[in-house]
Amino acid sequence: MDRIEPKLVTIFGGAGFVGTQIVQALAKSGHRIRVAVRRPGLAGHVKMFGSVGQIQPIQANIRNAASVQHAVRGADIVINLVGVGQSRGVQSFVAVHTDGARHIAEAAKAAGVTTLVHMSALGVDMAAGVSDYAASKLDGEVAVLKAFPTAIILRPSILFGPGDGFFNLMGMLARMLPVLPLIGGDTRFQPAYVGDVAEAFAMAAEGQVKAGKIYELGGPQIETYRDLMARIQREAGRKRPMLPIPSGIAKLLALPMSFLPFPPLLTADQVELLGVDNVVSDAAIREKRTFAAFGITPTEMDAILPSYMYRFRKRGQYDRDNAPAPIL
């Protein structure tokens, strides 16, 4: 493959779970990277992923158009990864997923950026009618393509990998709770490995897939929510009974959590999302708008989950099948 010419890349939200993986992938190709975040003082860890001066955290708030314009000035490639799981105050779904996405696309177009890659979420088109989160994400896609018609939009499923937000949370609950609540147990999911998704983003940024399209990224396994919870318990070495909870009751339970000063474990909007299948569409498979477009063979959960889920076992690493022999 021909050598990729190094570019200047601005990555909004590049200090997070997915962003750090993308930063590493692009840094290996020699690109210079601006990691645009609200608090650059908390993003110093990204500098270790490249050579001296190659990666620089900068301040940007996607709710502020002028801030976004400053962050993309002079960039060749722009990637937007910013998202919120709860709509609260100024950090509302619309402000971040729709208006913020539009600010980035408009600023990128005005600055002469050649490539824009936007992160959405798998299934937002199916869930937009019941979920404010999904509706704002879908509106964000429309706004991005209107301002920047050649933008590349990637819709990953729920992600797994060290530091992920789903499997680690469920593993913690399996360790702490005597009974695991089960909401939308028959809903299907298609978890994707964060490393595969990061590779797809890097390839899209480097122009290795067709522009102006929406790609759906799901892993090789489709499992129901109940199956995933059973898998998590196996990895955590737990045997908790699962208690099915109707969506109406789940939303009532989630209501008081929305008033807490810290991110809640569950919101009413997430309850709605748990009722909608989160899998790659038949149209995306037929049109090869999946990992196949990138030539990536998606990684199975069995290859990755054991490498970090062991910490939720009763004796941690010493409960692993390949645990080191005790020192006598």
262 pLDDT higher than 70: no
Please indicate whether residue 324 or residue 232 has the higher confidence score (pLDDT): 232
Mean pLDDT calculated for residue range 243-259: 85
Query: Residue 73: pLDDT above 80?
Result: yes
Q: Is the pLDDT score of 165 beyond 60? A: yes
Place of tokens 């955590």: 236
**Who has greater pLDDT, 11 or 4?**
11
Give tens-digit pLDDT for 100-111: 999 999 999 999
pLDDT one-digit tens code per residue, 35-57: 999 999 999 999 999 999 999 99
Closest to 172 (Cα-Cα) out of 312, 305, 280: 312
- Are 156 and 217 in contact by the 8 Å Cβ rule? The answer is yes
CB 36 within 8 A of CB 60: yes
**Alpha-carbon radius of gyration of the chain:** 20
State the chain's mean pLDDT as an integer: 93
pLDDT, tens digit, 9 for 90 and up, residues 169-194? 999 999 999 999 999 899 999 999 99
CATH 3.40.50.720 is the classification of domain 8-161+190-222+278-298: yes
Which residue carries 């941690």 as its tokens? 316
Banded pLDDT at 3 (limits 50, 70, 90): low
In this structure, which amino acid lies at residue 133? Y
Contact 153, 144 (CB under 8 A): yes
Q: Which DSSP category does 80 fall into?
A: E
pLDDT of residue 315: 81
Q: How far is CA 48 from CA 15, 22, 277, 292, in A?
A: 12, 13, 38, 31
Task: Give the pTM.
Answer: 0.93
Pairing of β 8-12 and β 77-80: parallel
